[in-house]
A and B are shown apart, each in its own frame.
Chain A
């Protein structure tokens, strides 16, 4: 059974970088053909897809965040990471990591981690 777990600071100051890591267990991040994804949800609002990194290492980002975003993978640790630069209060949300297959349906999710942007 694949499990995902987000980790990282719960509080980030405005203009700084939000950094989160997703640890995958129950399967190798480098096997199969999957999109390892980040999705966020502001309090009381809907879901916003942030971007993904494919098993091959290629990435695709939401155009609304492009330019501030990096997603990387560390196969030795079975982890993938999110870096979002120059954050503002609008980036405050619960951040989820998730796995998607080739048809981009998200079948496994982390429990989510709340990140608050505030001074």
Chain B
């Protein structure tokens, strides 16, 4: 199975900050990487697919980058509503696995 490792596990930032969360795969997964945002008590929401494609309706302050085994999710100017846990997920080949999550506090 492909293991996904996110860092940091948690971080605290201020409104307006630029924030980056990284995700590393245990092998190359090309661009088969998706990012989700999950708020307490809610289902995850897809933000970015194929490493860098922004889902329609997602604010442009979110961006994704990377390929191979190393990826990043960047929030260019943090907003209060971005307080959530973020997960990466590989979609290279089943079994699908998620990172352990990054809890973002504001």
Contact = CB atoms under 8 A, between A and B. Distances in A.
Interface stretch (A16-24, A41-49, A77-85): A41-49
B43 A46 contact: no
Give the size range of B's interface with the partner. 20 to 34
Contacts, number: 54
A111 interface: yes
A49 B87 CA distance: 13
Interface in B82-106: 87, 89, 91, 94-101
Interface in B58-96: 87, 89, 91, 94-96
B47 to A, nearest CB: 10
Contact of B98 (A47, A60, A98): A47
Highest count of chain B CB atoms <10 Å: which of A60, A96, A104: A104
Contacts of B55: 107
Contact of B44 (A48, A63, A106): A106
Nearest to A101: B49
A31 interface: no
